[in-house]
Structure 1
Amino acid sequence: MYNLRMELEINGEVSDIEETKFGIRKIEDYLNKQGHRGYKINGKKILIKGGGWVDDLFLRDDPEKLDAQIQYVKNMNLNCIRLEGFWGTSSKLYDLADKYGILIMAGWSCQWEWEEYLGKKVDEFGGIKTKDDMDIVLKSLNDQVLWLRNHPSVFVWVLGSDRLPRPKLEKKYYELLRNIDPTRPTLASCQLLESRVSGTTGVKMNGPYDYVPPVYWYIDKKNGGAFGFNTETGPGPQPPPIESLKKMIPAENLWPVNSMWNYHCGRNEFNN
């Protein structure tokens, strides 16, 4: 990382000072013979090993906690975090990723793509349909990219999560990015989809979202197996530490598992 100090003078007097850090690197993406997308940093292929990231539930952007979490990422031998959305209530998250050499996938979440999240009808391209919708999301992307483009940790702009952008909108995205940040690859969707504008995404989002035996990763060449770029997967249940459980659940309800536990469980397998 390098330090940059800028001073603005008016009539020989300093009117403003800005200091920032920046890094220099080259990022490229490619498709291999099997159609899987990969990435290169400074000309060298890199194996992306990442995890998902969300901010604190109450958006408490505590610097020490953020530092500890990014160090957890590094100590788990991961080199990337995926932000389904533009997380971070300040630039601290991105500053730390720059500092510790953690790559960031930044881009849109799936909220605009599903009726139950968006609150209006969607189609194969989600719920961004009208000119006003597109203008708003383009302005938002413009602001986010201008805010984050100097962070070397951000290695790709993700333009869709579970679906593709509407072709007209996707073209507008690329036009915007050519003007304000032509230095990074883009990804039209985190699903394995074929865009009319940019071709195959070359990535997959088939899970699994629960425990599977180790053999699964070696015999399956389509879904969650260790083939290609898996943008989203998960280990399944994540029980809190016993100390947290004792705070959440009254002593008389700690065992056996009962409706009190169910209240604190999430979706899908645990929604009953």
Structure 2
Amino acid sequence: MNQKMSVFLLFLLIGLLGCCFGSFFMVVGLRIPLGQSIVHPASHCADCQHSLGPTELIPVFSFLFQKGRCRHCRASLSLFYPLSEIWTGFLFVSIALAFAAQPQELFLMYLLVAFSLIFSVTDLHYQLLPDSLMASFFSLVLIGRMLYHPLSFTHYLLSALFYFSLFYALYWITDQAIGGGDVKLFGILGLFLGFKLMLFTLFAASLSLLLLASILLLLKKITRQTHLPFAPFIFFGVFFSIRYGEALLALTEKLFI
């Protein structure tokens, strides 16, 4: 087996592993806000409660083979499941490619992928970012940044304090226009990213939310009173800033300095 084939098979395995984790992250996001165990009961159809067998739990492929329906009651399955599995697989491969030379950062990046999907699911389904998950995310990011900090550890701590304080103030001044969970999340992401990359995250998250909301308003799919979950856009901004933030910082310095 030549080297190219070996590399291809390695990244294929990473992608498949990502799809499996994507399925698990969905379960965590759907069950934790309801106070349910993530291991019991076993995965089952939401309509007929039938426990799913091994052939019904293969990420993406089971959905395709069953034509998007439960094999037992023929109820339609949500397209959100295979899409989240594919997205997680894509992120696993992208991170492996981008950070192969930075193994210290891999732990934090895969941690970010896990909680980005979990929090997006909880926000989309329940409009909630559970404190128990937030505490776990904070603890793991703190440990990760203590072990690996390209900038000084103090920089990351001050960034976390600054962004948490800023949005905590906005939370009260604007009559709680943003959620308390978002405030905590901004603080943790400030610890994860540092000052400058967090700025690009906020810009990308706000702009993407504004663009989507404008399109949906024009199509009359929502009204001005419709609540759109912010967590998916926040994490879009995070991945955008990680991928393009350094290049944008360099461009900004050339233009204005």
Higher helix share goes to which structure?
Answer: 2
Q: Which has the higher strand share?
A: 1
- TM > 0.5 fold call: no
Which protein has greater RCO, CA pairs closer than 8 Å, 6+ apart? 2
- When normalised by structure 2's length, the TM-score is 0.25
TM-score (norm 1): 0.24
